Structure 1
Amino acid sequence: MASPAPVKRFLVLAALLLAALPLAFAPTRLAADPADIAAASRSVVRVVLIDRGLGGVTLVGHGSGFAVGPDLVLTNAHVVAPLAEDSSMSVGIVPSQGKSGYFAKIVAFSPKNDLALLRLTEKGALSPATLFTGAVTDGEDVYAVGYPGNVDQAQGLNPADLMSPVAPVKTRGAVSAGRSSKGFETILHTAPIGSGNSGGPLLDNCGRVIGTNSFGTVSDTSADSEFYFAVSMREMTRFLLNAGVTARTTGEPCRSLAELDAAERERQAGARAQTEEQQRLEADKRDARLQAATRQAEMEVIVSRENHLALAGLSLILAILCGAAAIWLAQQGRKRDSKIGSALSAVLLILSPAAWFTRPSIAGIDSRAKEIVAEQDEGAPAPAPAATSPAGETTMTCVFNPQRSRVTVSATTDVPLTWRGDGCANGRTQFGLGGEGWSRLVAPQGEDTATIASYDPATHTYREDRFLLDQDTMSKIRADRARDPAPACGAGEEAARRLGDSQAASRASLPAQPNERLVYDCSPAR
């Protein structure tokens, strides 16, 4: 009989294994890319209330918000509500990057769903956030971004510090779907927020805004769990629409680059297998055509040999007969006819061996079969040429391929592309030539996105890798490109390779992975 101790240990081990089984077979959750959350955080601002009374400028309070345009900020209505009670107050916007803030005014105010829209009173250059219009699923990870006052207090920040650009605080939680506040539609989640987070965004794993953080639960005991509420996207889009604002939106699903790369490797393996199968089928077709041509060549050669042999034998017989006739005619004294018969006999005697020796060889069957295949190829219709201009440019329409792309903030409309063999795109943009093919690195002024555009003429694939960067990195890349600008179209291969080398040096300033990868399949335009 076994002792109680080993049996008890066995039961404990079995219980642990059974408890672990659901974890082993649970679906993996998509982990957020820190670069996406960091990029989205640059759209978050601190909203400060300032009293400009006789005693000078005084900080009254603050909350959070996020840009929905270069000069527009969305926040909670309760953050800016004190302005309605005190005309001496002003509202300021302090971005997360840069050197200074802006004053703003309220342009839309809706206490019923706790939303307010602010417009800068001077020209601004805020980085607009992207709103996700798709469904929010139960249990998905979310990130609250804003400026909680308890963090400022713990850091020992003074009022002057609160009016200077500083990075926002990010917390993580999960959605608890199925519960909403009664007054307006909200998202219940567990990403911690504090006083000062009000008006800040609730982000998904790709850094898209899915809600505006508004309030949290009130607990009488420290043992109670804390939950938080964010104004839903339905409420936000209706509010912005009524205010005449068209925000940047996307409904594309959130995919990780690791997932995308794995799918791309699988696609390439499938494409290689398909190519190999196509090559095998083509080889089988060629073999079948060659076999048919060989049979035809055999028949032609055999018939031709038989004809030559028959001609040689007939010529020999006729030569003998003509010779005999010539002798008989000579005996009859008909010399003229005898000479004609002799001449015909001589010609036939020459024709007979000529026909024999010029008969086709059996070894010529293979060469004749190849000639038959070549004749068939010459008679086949030629493929339709691509649409080209007199300058040799191919005009194409590039259609977005969602299965090969990762989209977080960008639009996915079709891209018109006119490509020339020397790397000139659309008649004005020269691409650089490097080890990875044709590409062009651009960092436009007034934007926070650097893009590497590339085109593969072999597969007719156009691709854009987009990096959402901070102001300092964007400035560095712009300075690099300004020191070594791209040559004009048609400058030659050497100039294209120099551009490719200089772009490779600029890429060292970029993160290892892009925030977005947009892939397009190009075909000749009609």
Structure 2
Amino acid sequence: MNRFLAMFTIALAALFASPAQADPADISAASRSVVRVVLAATDGDKVAFVGHGSGFAVAPDKIVTNAHVVEIARQEKSVVIGIVPSQGGTSYGGKVIAYSSGNDLALIQLQDGGRLPPMTIFGGPVADGADVVAIGYPGSVDRAQGLNLDDLINPMSPVKTRGSVSGGRSTKQFDTILHTAPIASGNSGGPLIDNCGRILGANSFGSLSDGNDAEFGFAVSSREILSFLRKAGVKVGLTATPCRSSADISLQEQRREAAARAKMEALQRAEKAKRQQAETKLRTTISQDIVTERENQMAVAALMLVLSLVAAGGAGYLMLRDQRTPAIGTAGGAALLLVGAILVFLSRPAFSEIDDRVAVAMKEQLPDDNGTNGGQNLATAGKYQCRLNPERSRITVSQTDSLDIDWTEGGCVNERTQYGRDGAKWSRIFVPNEEQTVTISSFDPTRAEFTTERYLLGLAAMTKAREIRKQYGNRACTTDEQALSDIAEMVKAIRTELPMQTNERLVYECEKLSQ
């Protein structure tokens, strides 16, 4: 009955599952990389606002935007470019280092030591009707808020609007994506992203209706962006893995776990039946052996008793014949036979020994699995090759098909990085100073699985994670219990500050390499 209910619940979940929606964590992560591109004319000490657009980071110090956004800065030397991030408290200067009016793209080099978290470009096909999100700084929103120039040069969150792709329509001049996510003047150069926060295109222009802002938008496609960046010599993050929702991955893992449990239960039932059959056979054989042993020992005891009586009679006869010395010897032999008969009778196996003999025989024939690892083989120390299982992974910003690890049972990985106890797993958390990414790497010896969870955080969350990280030393491989406890506590402490949902989760299944 319980099995039926579990299957019925899973079936209902699959039946009524809604289409994957954009994960707020992924949209928030994408927003970290979106900037306002401000143009201002300088005349001595005077500064005049010229206009603005949007852009996004494709490398820590490089911004993509539309060519028409920065065109005036190339024509007028008095016009300077300012890059205003979506978070933090610092803005940066910018310089155009690549320009292509043919597909309306420009590349800006950040100045003043500016660095931003880069986005990943999706290089696969974009399906008709696919959900998309446009991110940028529409001027209509600025005007509605009554923002002035001082406001525009201070970091603020970009505006996100949702829509869908209308496939089969593109411009004649260059490859574009037609979509329904609302955009306005100021969105130019901002990214069009999928539900996993990957770049599909750069919003360029919209269709006009009665002089109002665009009802439909056109974005320069990722193919055009990749070609443009390749010519500019810029290496970018690229993936072609389709976006999958966290709910989809979670439901699939539940099904996989349910199937694994069902398989394990079936194996356990088969093992139990095998043991019961073996035990029944052994019990029958051992019972027969004990009955035979008892009968044999009782027969021996009876024979010894008869011989004892015969010897006693002989001793009496010799005494009557006045043969005292032989009579005493014969009487002693009779006594010994009597004692022996008693001992043999008393030492016959009891029926209560059947259980003990069956237990010993079962242990020899079918050694017990103590159940310490749920019937699975624990990973032992050695080198492992781990391969990514894309069906169990949520790949958003990166992809490594395989990795090699050198594992020791004390939690040391690759002879240099100490992991800490994390339930059934061993985990280590990485909080770099130069990136806005927190990574938790884990190895589960009970399953021989290595997982990588990535959280793409905003500045505030990243700063808090770094503060926690500073409280703990950078532990190399060690067997010191206090050090291992510190690593475990660090993982727990930082986890409490992380979002509930990871932006990316890679699952690797590992096999031990032959020595």
TM-score bracket, normalised by the shorter chain, equals: 0.7 to 0.9
* Residues 220 and 377 of structure 1, relative CA distance in 2, 3 Å threshold: closer
SS in 1 for 2:106: strand
Cα separation, 2, equivalents of 1:191 and 1:182: 21
Give 1:297 deviation, angstroms: 1.9
For 1:207-226, list aligned pairs within 5 A: 207-220=197-210, 226=215
Counterpart for residue 22 of structure 1: none
For 1:26-425, list aligned pairs within 5 A: 28-52=18-42, 56-220=46-210, 226-305=215-294, 307-308=296-297, 311=300, 355-377=344-366, 387-388=380-381, 395-419=383-407, 423-425=411-413
Counterpart for residue 434 of structure 2: 446
Query: In terms of mean alpha carbon deviation, does 464-473 or 213-222 score higher?
Result: 213-222
Q: Is the 8 A contact 2:405 2:414 kept in 1?
A: yes
* Residues 472 and 345 of structure 1, relative CA distance in 2, 3 Å threshold: closer
* TM-score computed with the length of structure 2 as normaliser: 0.80
Cα separation, 1, equivalents of 2:281 and 2:224: 72
Given the alignment of the two structures, is residue 479 of structure 1 paired with residue 505 of structure 2, yes or no?
no
Cα separation, 2, equivalents of 1:122 and 1:75: 19
Cα separation, 2, equivalents of 1:218 and 1:81: 22
Q: Is the 8 A contact 1:387 1:395 kept in 2?
A: no
* Residues 348 and 507 of structure 1, relative CA distance in 2, 3 Å threshold: closer
Give 1:61 deviation, angstroms: 2.7
SS in 2 for 1:180: coil
Partner deviation per Cα, 1:213-233 (whole Å, 9 max, x = no partner): 1111234587x9821111112
* Structure 2 residues not aligned, in runs of 5+: 1-14, 370-375
Give 1:191 deviation, angstroms: 0.7
Correspondent of 1:515 among 484, 503, 509 = 503
Give 1:262 deviation, angstroms: 3.5
Q: Is the 8 A contact 2:183 2:214 kept in 1?
A: no
* One-letter code aligned to 2:501: Q
For 1:422-437, list aligned pairs within 5 A: 423-432=411-420
Count of residues paired in the alignment: 494
* Residues 506 and 320 of structure 1, relative CA distance in 2, 3 Å threshold: closer
* One-letter code aligned to 2:253: E
SS in 1 for 2:247: helix
Give 1:100 deviation, angstroms: 2.8
Q: CA RMSD in A?
A: 4.1
* Residues 130 and 292 of structure 1, relative CA distance in 2, 3 Å threshold: same
Q: Is the 8 A contact 1:173 1:190 kept in 2?
A: yes
* Residues 295 and 34 of structure 1, relative CA distance in 2, 3 Å threshold: same
Partner deviation per Cα, 1:407-455 (whole Å, 9 max, x = no partner): 3223344454455555555455454557787544432101112234444
* Residues 369 and 138 of structure 1, relative CA distance in 2, 3 Å threshold: same
Cα separation, 1, equivalents of 2:362 and 2:491: 49
* Residues 374 and 38 of structure 1, relative CA distance in 2, 3 Å threshold: closer
Give 1:145 deviation, angstroms: 0.9
Cα separation, 2, equivalents of 1:328 and 1:99: 125
* One-letter code aligned to 2:455: F
Q: Is the 8 A contact 2:379 2:446 kept in 1?
A: no
* One-letter code aligned to 1:290: E
Partner deviation per Cα, 1:115-169 (whole Å, 9 max, x = no partner): 2222224433111011122332222221111122222233333334333322222
* Residues 490 and 479 of structure 1, relative CA distance in 2, 3 Å threshold: same
SS in 2 for 1:278: helix
Give 1:109 deviation, angstroms: 2.4
* Structure 1 residues not aligned, in runs of 5+: 1-24, 389-393
- Identity within the alignment, %: 46
* Residues 54 and 320 of structure 1, relative CA distance in 2, 3 Å threshold: closer
Give 1:193 deviation, angstroms: 1.3
